[in-house]
């Protein structure tokens, strides 16, 4: 397995190049690029500039693990407004295009958002339809779309079996699961998601989670690896069981009050131990 | 029923004696009644037979699981009741306890004639007395030495605040993969050459040649995982059918 971390964790005020240098120095193999979340990689960033990002990544002796985005929280594929849905589709298309430019084969998509006004059944149907269409484009690009399990925040596809049924309904080989082992909270066990989805997992986001704890003010349910309630030996064993040998991508919250670069080193060391099974 | 010449019978009996458990050979020489299968021809026709152990079945969902696994693999099979087993290339006996010498000998006779008998023991879920019978019959008829069941007890260890671990069985044959355990294992005392699955360092499954066939003992149930559509459990069954 290889380890990566998102460029959205590069400390505020640092340049992309400084961030890459830190990522390399901390021992990562790759970097996850977040479309729309960082100043250097936006929807209107032209192809030439994207290629320049790739050049900088390669100069730092890294590779791009995948292309992610948080833009679908504001503009979901499940929106009622057809124009918003068209924008959401375009975001995914741009992710596919940039993934090809950046020489990676996976993107992360937050598939749908259930709200009080956009109910579950609408979200489900729209997401299936959208991903069937996008799945064709992904196949042409040879880039896999990983739908992330954002269980609590999305209020959508809460269980691994439900997610499995969803992917069955989409029925496109280039559409799978970008598994976030920290997002399952109190609704299940990450290792069971790993077991159930196996080869459909495109990438894995790593963070730890504190169960039995709702959000309260600035308190988060998320925490650094090994500080929360995830059963890491069980997760590691499940990865072995299903033969996962892909990217482990750290998706941490920016929680260090001082020496923010230290989080990169600490997280890399924790991932090393996870990969080695020294838990 | 096909008639055998004296020469053919002696040849087959002599050939089988190299791998047959002594008790069965003695029983046969004493005129024990297992000739229906012994004197029938080698396995032909239906390739896979699933046996419903009926009253001997402790894990009913294992029978459903194996049926589902075979269907998912596109393997045609027939379902027979214990006591009326037909010869086949592969005989699957899920979630069972041996219970009686007659049933055990029925399975043994199939193996002698060239069938691969997969016996998934449910004895870990049976009463201690039933397990003792299982232990005795396995040793006597198949030379398989098993130890009392071990309850892996992940739930109890979690409740006690102990570190949780996922009980995976590592299968080495017919394909190498991991399958979650159903919580109770029957350890097997088997040399490395016979052991085909382990929990940690403990063998929990073995394969022994019996006559012209083989007897596979599973001390960790697979059927419930087939029913739950566990990917690796299905892969294991497909590999077994193809082996």
**Has residue B196 been placed in a domain?**
no
Nearest residue on chain A to B180, alpha-carbon basis: A241
With vertex at residue B66, the alpha carbon angle to CA B61 and CA B69, rounded to the nearest 5 degrees, is 120
Q: Choosing among B179, B199, B231, which should be mutated to test the A contact, i.e. which has the most A CBs within 10 A? A: B231
> Strands, E, within chain A: which ranges?
2-6, 30-35, 63-69, 106-109, 144-148, 175-180, 201-206, 208-209, 222-223, 247-250
Out of B164, B165, B178, name the one closest to residue A241 (CB): B178
Which CB contacts under 8 angstroms, 24+ apart, belong to A123-129? Answer: A123/A76, A123/A78, A123/A156, A124/A156, A124/A166, A126/A77, A126/A78, A126/A79, A126/A85, A127/A77, A127/A78, A127/A156, A127/A166, A128/A166, A128/A169, A128/A170
Q: Which residue has the tokens 């990544």?
A: A57
Q: Which residues of A touch B231 (CB under 8 A)?
A: 195, 198-199, 242
The closest alpha carbon to A88, from A35, A40, A141, belongs to: A35
Query: Per residue of chain A (279 residues), what is the pLDDT tens digit?
Result: 999 999 999 999 999 999 999 999 999 999 999 999 999 999 999 999 999 999 999 999 999 999 999 999 999 999 988 899 999 999 999 999 999 999 999 999 999 999 988 889 999 999 999 999 999 999 999 999 999 999 878 899 999 999 999 999 999 999 999 999 999 988 899 999 999 999 999 999 999 998 877 665 667 788 999 999 999 999 999 999 999 999 999 999 888 999 999 999 999 999 999 999 999
With an 8 Å Cβ cutoff, are B165 and A233 in contact? yes
CB contact under 8 A, A238 and B166: yes
CATH number at residue B233: 3.40.50
Yes or no: say if A69 and A37 are a contact pair by the CB < 8 Å rule: yes
Mean pLDDT of chain B: 81
* Chain B residues near residue A240 by CB distance under 8 angstroms: 168, 178
Higher-scoring residue by pLDDT: A20, B81? A20
Q: What is the extent of the structural domain holding B47?
A: 6-146+206-242
Q: Which are the contacts of B192, defined by CB distance < 8 A and separation ≥ 6?
A: none
Cis peptide before B78 (omega within 30 of 0): no
SS3 B156: helix
Closest-CA distance, A241 to chain B, in angstroms, reads: 5
Indicate whether B195 belongs to any domain: no
Say how many domains are in chain B.
1
Query: Across the A/B interface, how many CB contacts are shorter than 8 Å?
Result: 29
Domains along chain A?
2-276 (3.20.20.150)
């Amino acid at each position: 397995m290889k380890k990566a971390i998102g460029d959205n964790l590069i400390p505020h005020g640092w340049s992309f190049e400084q961030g890459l240098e830190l990522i390399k120095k901390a021992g990562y193999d790759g970097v996850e690029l977040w479309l729309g979340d960082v100043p250097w990689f936006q929807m209107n960033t032209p192809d030439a500039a994207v290629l320049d990002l790739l050049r900088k990544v390669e100069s730092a002796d890294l590779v791009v693990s995948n292309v992610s985005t948080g833009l679908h929280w504001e503009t979901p594929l499940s929106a009622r407004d057809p124009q918003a849905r068209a924008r959401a589709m375009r975001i995914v298309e741009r992710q596919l295009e940039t993934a090809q430019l950046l020489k990676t084969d996976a993107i992360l998509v937050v598939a749908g958002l259930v709200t009080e006004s956009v109910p579950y059944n609408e979200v489900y149907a729209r997401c299936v339809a959208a991903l069937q269409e996008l799945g064709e484009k992904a196949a042409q690009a040879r880039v896999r779309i990983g739908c992330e399990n954002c269980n609590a925040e999305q209020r959508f596809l809460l269980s691994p079996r439900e997610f499995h049924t969803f992917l069955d309904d989409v029925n496109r080989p280039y559409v799978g699961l970008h598994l976030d082992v920290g997002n399952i909270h109190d609704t299940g066990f990450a290792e069971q998601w790993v077991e159930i989805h196996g080869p459909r997992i495109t990438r894995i986001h790593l963070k730890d989670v504190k169960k039995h704890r709702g959000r309260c003010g600035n308190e988060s349910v998320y925490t650094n690896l090994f500080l929360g309630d995830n059963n890491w030996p069980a997760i590691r064993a499940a990865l072995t069981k299903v033969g996962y040998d892909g990217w482990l991508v750290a998706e941490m919250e920016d929680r260090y009050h001082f020496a923010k670069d230290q989080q990169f080193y600490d997280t890399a060391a924790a991932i090393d131990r996870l990969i080695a099974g020294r838990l | 029923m096909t008639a055998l010449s004296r020469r053919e019978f002696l040849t087959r009996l002599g050939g089988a004696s190299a791998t047959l458990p002594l008790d069965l050979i003695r029983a046969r020489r004493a005129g024990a009644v297992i000739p229906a299968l012994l004197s029938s021809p080698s396995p032909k026709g239906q390739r896979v037979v699933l046996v419903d152990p009926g009253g001997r079945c402790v894990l009913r969902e294992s029978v459903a699981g194996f049926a589902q696994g075979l269907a998912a693999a596109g393997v045609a099979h027939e379902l027979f009741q214990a006591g009326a087993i037909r010869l086949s290339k592969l005989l699957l006996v899920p979630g069972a306890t041996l219970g009686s010498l007659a049933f055990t000998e029925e399975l043994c006779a199939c193996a002698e004639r060239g069938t691969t008998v997969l016996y998934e023991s449910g004895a870990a879920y049976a009463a201690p007395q039933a397990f003792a019978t299982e232990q005795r019959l396995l040793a006597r008829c198949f030379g398989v030495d098993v130890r009392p069941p071990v309850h892996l007890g992940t739930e109890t260890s979690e409740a006690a605040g102990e570190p949780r671990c996922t009980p995976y069985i590592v299968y080495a044959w017919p394909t190498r993969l991991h399958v979650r355990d159903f919580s109770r294992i029957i350890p097997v005392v088997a040399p490395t050459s016979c052991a085909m699955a382990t929990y940690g360092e403990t063998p929990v499954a073995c394969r022994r040649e019996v006559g012209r066939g083989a007897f596979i003992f599973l001390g960790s149930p697979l059927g419930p995982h087939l029913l739950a559509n566990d990917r690796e459990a299905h892969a294991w069954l497909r590999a077994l059918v193809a082996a």
